[in-house]
Chain A
Amino acid sequence: MKKSIKPLVAALAVVVSASALAQQAPAPKPETLIKWRQSVYQVLAWNSGRIKANVEGTYNKDEVIRAANSTAALANSGLGALFAPGTEQGKGWHDTTVKPELFTDGKHVGELAGNFAKEANELAKVAATGDQAAVKAQFGKLSGTCKACHDDFKKKD
């Protein structure tokens, strides 16, 4: 009986340590991070498209609230993690168009990201009022923060 316990203990030890290792989730691959951030920008495109349509045409208050809230949520979702080291180059859904400067100019990137979040949060507040003109003006300001980052950190194709 005693002899047969050793292999059992050994097996148990292996299983426990393996599961302990498995608890540390593997870091997402660079391609995955690039896919996720490219997807974020596609959703932002959906939102900005419908906000624009609403401020230029028939205004649907609820639609604008949804779009503005979605934009603010994305802006505050910690996008920096999607630009982790190792993602300077690579292919997500398509080749990344990020400029290498984004990975070295942390202070400026943080500033622009902060502006994006600030104006997106403000747009969500303004959208709640249902004021088409005010939404149009704030959307203009938000577009400015999109452009600021593109100008500095997005490749011109």
Chain B
Amino acid sequence: MSRQRVWDLPTRLFHWSLAAGIVAAVVTGKIGGELIEWHGRAGLFILGLVIFRVVWGFVGSPTARFANFIRGPRAIKAYLKGEWKGIGHNPLGALAVLGLLAFTTAQVASGLFANDDIAFQGPLAALISKEASDQSRALHSLVFYGLLAIVGLHLAAIAFYTRVKKESLVKPMVTGWKEDDPVLAKVAHVEQRSRLGSAIAFVVAALIATTTVYAASGGLLPAEPPPPPAAAAPAAW
């Protein structure tokens, strides 16, 4: 009985937080009303997660790094022929990762500038005209379908692995360990990095993510000048 370390803790936390965040965003977006504010918060939360993941894809553990699993068409062909031996995302799964990150980013970006034609607007909508903001909303509605499709594809792939290939991908994403693969144990070696190195990388990624969310939430926009005393009183006519 052997097992391999496959997913580090930040990656796992990111994955499940993103899943929860997307569910929250979809539900609050569909219901609207008083929940629309939470829809906005969910969007900013998702943005932070995605930025973190992108940075982590450069400084994180080996299975998290884009350079290690984004391999190109030849590797995808080899994988489909059953010739890929590795740990973590396979070359085809890599496309799904990129697709999910891309659609999620597009959805958040369009949402930041959109308005709901009722009383809510994204934190950066003030930077553009109402017409442009309406177009951003239209894009947000459109990208939603793409996002839904790729999330569906992702879930279908997980189900395929479970039912057909008899391999649970859910458990390793929870525990971080991949069980019982003698071939893998011989071929793949996941280098361990010093705890300090991981911690520094995590802090850097988290800082970049936090700064981005701060900017996206309108934190860098000039503060509104205090209303003149006359404006606080009701209009005279």
Q: Report the bound CA distance from A60 to B134 in whole Å.
A: 30
Closest chain A CB from B236 CB (angstroms): 12
Out of A48, A66, A157, which one reaches B118, CB within 8 Å? A48
> What is the minimal beta-carbon distance from A97 to any residue of chain B, in angstroms?
9
Within the assembled complex, what's the spacing in Å between the Cα atoms of A52 and B32?
15
Q: What sequence of 0s and 1s flags, for each residue 125-141 of chain B, a beta carbon within 8 Å of any chain A beta carbon?
A: 00000000011011001
Report the stretch among A8-16, A80-88, A98-106, A138-146 that lies at the interface.
A138-146
Contacting pair A52 B138 (CB below 8 A): no
In the bound complex, residues from chain A placing their C-beta under 8 Å from that of B119 are 48-49, 51-52, 139, 143
| Complex interface: chain B residues within 8 A of A140 (CB) | 33-34
- Provide the residues of chain A in CB contact with B117, threshold 8 Å: 45, 146, 150, 154
B232 on the interface (CB 8 Å rule)? yes
**Do B141 and A147 touch across chains, with their CB atoms under 8 A apart?**
no
B116 to chain A: which residues have CB within 8 Å? 147
Q: Does A62 count as interface, using CB distance less than 8 angstroms?
A: yes
**Residue-by-residue, is B25-50 near A (CB-CB < 8 Å gives 1, otherwise 0)?**
00000001110100000000000000
B234 touches A143 (CB 8 A): no
Asked, given contacts A137-B34, A156-B138, whether A146 binds B118 with beta carbons under 8 Å apart, the answer is: yes
Report Cα–Cα, A45/B119, bound state, in Å: 7
Closest chain A CB from B135 CB (angstroms): 7
B interface, size bucket: 10 to 19
Which residues of A (40-96) have their CB < 8 Å from a CB of B? 45, 48-49, 51-52, 58, 60, 62-63, 66
CB pair B135 A144 closer than 8 Å: no
- Chain B proximity mask over A10-45: 1 for CB below 8 Å, otherwise 0: 000000000000000000000000000000000001
Chain B: CB-nearest residue to A45 = B117
Tell me which residues from 123 to 157 in chain A have a Cβ below 8 Å from any Cβ of chain B. Answer: 136-137, 139-141, 143-144, 146-147, 150, 154, 156-157
- Distance from A22 Cβ to chain B, minimum over Cβ atoms (Å): 37
Residue of A nearest to B138 (CB): A157
What chain B residues lie within 8 Å of A136 (beta carbons)?
34
- Residues in A with CB closer than 8 Å to B34 are 136-137, 140, 143
A62 to B137, CA, bound (A): 33
A109 to chain B, nearest CB (A): 18
Asked if A58 meets B33 with Cβ closer than 8 Å, knowing A143-B118, A156-B138, the reply is no
Complex Cα spacing A157 to B131, Å: 10
Q: Name, among A62, A63, A154, A156, the residue most crowded by chain B CB atoms within 10 Å (CB to CB).
A: A156
In the complex, 21 of the A-B residue pairs with CB atoms within 8 angstroms, ordered by the A residue number, are A48-B118, A48-B119, A49-B119, A51-B119, A58-B232, A60-B232, A63-B234, A139-B119, A141-B33, A143-B32, A143-B118, A146-B117, A147-B33, A147-B116, A147-B118, A150-B118, A156-B137, A156-B138, A156-B141, A157-B135, A157-B141
4 pairs of A and B residues whose beta carbons are closest in the complex: A140-B34, A157-B138, A144-B33, A147-B32
User: B-side interface residues toward A, CB under 8 Å?
Assistant: 32-34, 36, 116-119, 134-135, 137-138, 141-142, 232, 234
Q: List 10 additional contacts besides A63-B234, A137-B34, A143-B118; criterion CB under 8 Å.
A: A45-B117, A51-B119, A60-B234, A66-B234, A143-B119, A144-B33, A146-B118, A154-B117, A157-B134, A157-B141
